[in-house]
């Protein structure tokens, strides 16, 4: 197994929650109300699984390994990915803030939530496509086998230090339960390649 295999597997779980969030936004717009409990679970998933578990492996381990092999951060692929991670965090902050404002400004808050949710879904799908189809391919070609083995053990350390024992599994189960709640079939979930086009 390669480090990129782990990251791609995590992308598949993230894509499940993106499908839920997309459907949630559509339903919220149609019904003029947000499923707050599920929305908070999605935000919790993003912050803990997508960010602390997944992005931490990329930002703290994979990206520095690529940069050490000559890929510049400034104007290079890792710099683009880092900027997109920050854009995603801003979308999540907007969604979180909107949920907190539903009671006193429901119409504006609902509109903010739906807009931020859709922006996040579009951003992450394209971002995952870039990583799966370009960045991870570069990593597989340029990082030596022994260094890839070292990265695998470092990924395990990230799980223990940043996330905690068995927390990964908890969020995989949360993604499954959210999909079930929203009636989403795994086979219907778009894959990263569907949103990636090399211009």
- Give the CATH number, domain containing residue 140: 1.20.120.520
Q: For 17-58, how does the pLDDT look when each residue is reduced to its tens digit (9 = 90+)?
A: 999 999 999 999 999 999 999 999 999 999 999 998 899 999
Domain hosting 10: range is 3-183
Domain contains 189: no
Answer whether residue 194 is part of any domain: no
On whether residue 45 sits in a domain, the answer given is yes
Would you say residue 87 lies in a domain? yes
> Is residue 188 situated within a structural domain?
no
pLDDT in tens, 74-111: 989 999 999 999 999 999 999 999 999 999 999 999 99
User: What is the C-alpha separation between 75 and 71, in angstroms, rounded?
Assistant: 9
pTM: 0.93
Residue 84 lies in a domain: yes
- Domain membership of residue 196 (yes or no) is no
How many domains, the chain?
A: 1
Q: Which residues contact 48 (CB under 8 A, 6 or more apart)?
A: 163, 167, 171
Q: Report the C-alpha gap between 146 and 110 in whole angstroms.
A: 50
């Amino acid at each position: 197994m390669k480090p990129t295999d782990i990251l791609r597997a995590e992308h598949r779980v993230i894509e499940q929650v993106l499908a839920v969030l997309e459907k949630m936004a559509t339903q919220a717009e149609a019904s003029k109300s947000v499923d707050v409990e599920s929305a908070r679970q999605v935000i919790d998933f993003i912050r803990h699984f997508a960010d602390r578990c997944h992005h931490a492996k990329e930002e703290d381990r994979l990206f520095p390994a690529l940069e050490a092999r000559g890929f510049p951060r400034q104007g290079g692929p890792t710099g683009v990915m880092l900027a997109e991670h920050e854009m995603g965090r801003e979308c999540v902050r907007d969604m979180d803030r909107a949920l907190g404002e539903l009671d006193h400004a429901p119409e504006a808050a609902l509109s903010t939530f739906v807009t931020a949710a859709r922006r996040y879904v579009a951003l992450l799908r394209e971002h995952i496509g870039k990583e799966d189809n370009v960045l991870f391919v570069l990593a597989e070609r340029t990082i030596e086998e022994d260094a890839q083995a070292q990265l695998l053990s470092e990924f395990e350390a990230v799980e223990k230090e940043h996330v905690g024992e068995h927390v990964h599994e908890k969020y995989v189960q949360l993604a499954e339960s959210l999909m079930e709640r929203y009636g989403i079939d795994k086979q219907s979930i778009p894959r990263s390649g569907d949103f990636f086009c090399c211009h």
